Amino acid sequence: MKEDPAVNPNQHPLYPLEPVEIDAVIFDLDGVITDTRCAHEAAWKQLFDEYLEEHVKAHQSGCGSFSHEDYREYLDGKPRYEGVRDFLASRHIQLPWGDPADSPEQETVCGLGNRKNHYFSQWLESHTVDTFADALDVLQRLYRAGVRTAIISASKNCEAVLANAGITDLFAVKVDGVDMAEQSLPGKPDPAIFLQAAQRLGVSPERTVVVEDALAGVKAGARGGFALVVGVNRGESGHAEALRHYGADVVTNTLTELLKDPQPGVLSAPVEEIALFREARNAVRARLRNKHIALFLDYDGTLTPIVEDYRKAQLSSTMRATISELARSCTVAVISGRDLDDVRKLVGLDQVFYAGSHGFDIAGPKGWHVELQQGKEFLPDLDAAEAGLREKLREIGGASVERKKFSIAVHYRQVASDDVLSVEEAVDRVLSEHPRLRKSSGKKVFDVKPRSHWNKGQALLWLLERCDLGGDDVVPIYIGDDTTDEDAFHVLRQAERNGGDGIGIIVGDDSGRPTLAHYALEGTDEVADFLQWLVAITATGAKG
Ligand code: G6P
Ligand code: MG
């Protein structure tokens, strides 16, 4: 239990948050990010009001009606059937567990849970989910400050709620009721769901914050050894005290207060405001003196200009010669959304590392090759989705489906603008059948990828570790032009916040797009100049 809240309830050394002091924030969904707590509660109430009435008729004994306190105490934050069990136990009612396939009419724990889910699904289908404005604001500020975020929910409807609200892409990691059932994770107040999210973010609980509105949730956060457990009370009387009692370190009624400064160390900026590399050359040169450079290069839009037909993006022979020259003094890796074999063939150099399929498939000099387990387990999903996409897109002129080993690209650069929406609809329809895959958007392409935390940034970190390049005599440099390259800029910013070094360079002039890069190059010609400059300085200054 916590100290008397009346004294100074929100005093905690980590609160409000200072981005440099933490690595990640894990948010609960219903009631914290989306305004869906009431809809869940109403569905539970409908179920239990009906059920308790039937029960009274059958047993001639009353056991009180279903209250808001019942929701908070027995159901909120818990997996569906565990909630039913705990509520019934509070009324001394024991029912057989049953089976998740039970019909909503069956008088079992699962049957009742399914009836509630029927009511909730009806609500979800007929309503647009609202995202709390303070949640959107804080997520954006955390992103800009280089703090990673995850969403968790005991609910099996998490994915549908995120999609309905249009916020699926806002979180680096998601762990929900479906994952919990698949992996047999115990529900809150066990901390398993939060620990799993932290693990997938690649952060330790001691540097991670949990934000929750459920009593079982704050209890789980406290048990999991997280740096700070923030209870969210959106104006309910008595709830703040209850949250503190169950383990919240602090309680807030708006997420806006979570971060210290409304603009804490803002790192991202629109592309056009990023310092041009050519104006910062001397400073960078000084920074690289006596360092080993680990150079990571995106392919399309970075080493070659974007072309109408992605199959025709050829590397110029001068660019190839420069990269080959650089590979003598630096560690060089090309990290691409393309298939590994494809990008390796296009670059055609043996001395460099390649990460294909957004980093799921990695190869290096001397025949070294690793297919990451993170990708392999998704192959059956990708195969099925590929077949579905080919079938649905056959009719749309100009659309092309490119299968890579661990992802699928749907290119629409050559699709008439009136038809682009149909392409996206087809992709969404196929993806609705494959919940383990997700869509992201690049330049005139939809990428269908495993729903995994793996990305170009993780591939960069993985390569640094594999190549023993974690020391402070190493400066990683990442050059890329597209949204997927932001994941790499993000990990460099994070390393920087932890005292490491790293330079992110964005290519192009996508004015208005926010980026976490440190410097900008205006196009692939400037990339060529930059690489030649690197050849020159590594020959004379940086460590070989
Ligand atoms: C979350 C919600 C609860 C809900 C539980 C199970 O914790 O806050 O209200 O009962 O998930 O949700 P589900 O949608 O799987 O029944
Ligand atoms: Mg909640």
Q: Answer whether residue 5 is part of any domain.
A: no
Which residues participate in catalysis according to the annotation? Answer: 298
Rounded CA-CA distance 109/87 in Å is 10
- pLDDT, one tens digit per residue, over 173-229 is 999 999 999 999 999 999 999 999 999 988 899 999 999 999 999 999 999 999 999
Closest CA to 373 of 284, 467, 468, 462: 462
Contact 293, 538 (CB under 8 A): yes
Q: Among all ligands shown, which has an atom nearest to the Cα of 32? A: 2
Domain end (from 126, 159, 191)? 126
Can you give the length of the chain in residues? Answer: 544
Domain end (from 233, 250, 265)? 265
Q: Which residues surround ligand 2, an ion (CB under 5 A)?
A: 28, 30-31, 213-214
Q: Are residues 136 and 26 in the same domain?
A: yes
Q: Answer whether residue 6 is part of any domain.
A: no
3-state secondary structure 390-431: HHHHCCCCCCEEEECCCCEEEECCCCCHHHHHHHHHHHHHHH
Helix, strand, coil percent content, the chain, rounded in steps of 5: 45, 20, 35
Atom of ligand 1 nearest to the CA of 177: 15
- Of all protein residues, whose CA lies closest to atom 12 belonging to ligand 1? 155
Residue 336, ligand 1, Cβ within 6 A = no
Query: Residue 542: its pLDDT value, please?
Result: 47
Q: Are residues 412 and 468 in the same domain?
A: no
Residue 153, ligand 1, Cβ within 6 A = yes
Q: Are residues 174 and 323 in the same domain?
A: no
Q: Are residues 355 and 409 in the same domain?
A: no
The 3-state DSSP class for residue 370 equals strand
> Residue 253, exposed/middle/buried by CB under 10 A (0-12, 13-18, 19+)?
middle
Residue 193, ligand 1, Cβ within 6 A = no
Q: Answer whether residue 14 is part of any domain.
A: no
Atom of ligand 1 nearest to the CA of 113: 16
- pLDDT, one tens digit per residue, over 434-489 is 878 888 888 899 999 887 768 899 899 999 999 999 888 999 999 999 888 988 99
Contact 73, 211 (CB under 8 A): no
Domain range for residue 424? 376-450
**Total domains, the chain:** 4
Rounded CA-CA distance 384/428 in Å is 14
* Ligand 2 center–CA 19 separation, angstroms: 24
Domain end (from 265, 290, 318)? 265
* Ligand 2 center–CA 216 separation, angstroms: 9
Q: Are residues 258 and 273 in the same domain?
A: no
Mean of the pLDDT values across residues 25-48?
97
Q: Answer whether residue 391 is part of any domain.
A: yes
- What residues contact residue 337 under an 8 Å CB cut-off, 6+ apart? 300, 357, 358, 404, 407, 409, 442, 447, 482, 484
CATH number at residue 424: 3.30.70.1020
Q: Answer whether residue 11 is part of any domain.
A: no
Q: Are residues 254 and 146 in the same domain?
A: yes
Q: Answer whether residue 432 is part of any domain.
A: yes
Q: Are residues 144 and 241 in the same domain?
A: yes
Statement: the pTM of the whole predicted model exceeds 0.75: no
Contact 19, 264 (CB under 8 A): yes
Q: Are residues 459 and 501 in the same domain?
A: yes
Angle, CA 154 vertex, CA 45 and CA 30 arms, to 5°: 65
Rounded CA-CA distance 538/277 in Å is 17
Angular region, 136: left φ>0, alpha ψ -120 to 50, beta rest: alpha
Rounded CA-CA distance 211/258 in Å is 9
Q: Are residues 256 and 329 in the same domain?
A: no
Residue 32, ligand 1, Cβ within 6 A = no
Rounded CA-CA distance 324/320 in Å is 6
Q: Are residues 55 and 201 in the same domain?
A: no
Q: Answer whether residue 2 is part of any domain.
A: no
Q: Among all ligands shown, which has an atom nearest to the Cα of 213? A: 2
Query: Residue 8: its pLDDT value, please?
Result: 56
* Ligand 1 center–CA 426 separation, angstroms: 30
The 3-state DSSP class for residue 300 equals strand
CATH number at residue 219: 3.40.50.1000
- pLDDT, one tens digit per residue, over 118-172 is 999 999 999 999 999 899 989 988 887 778 899 999 999 999 999 999 898 889 8
Q: Are residues 186 and 313 in the same domain?
A: no
Residue 30, ligand 1, Cβ within 6 A = yes
* Ligand 1 center–CA 477 separation, angstroms: 44
pLDDT > 70 in the chain, percent = 96
Q: Are residues 511 and 498 in the same domain?
A: yes
* Ligand 1 center–CA 153 separation, angstroms: 7
Q: Answer whether residue 54 is part of any domain.
A: yes
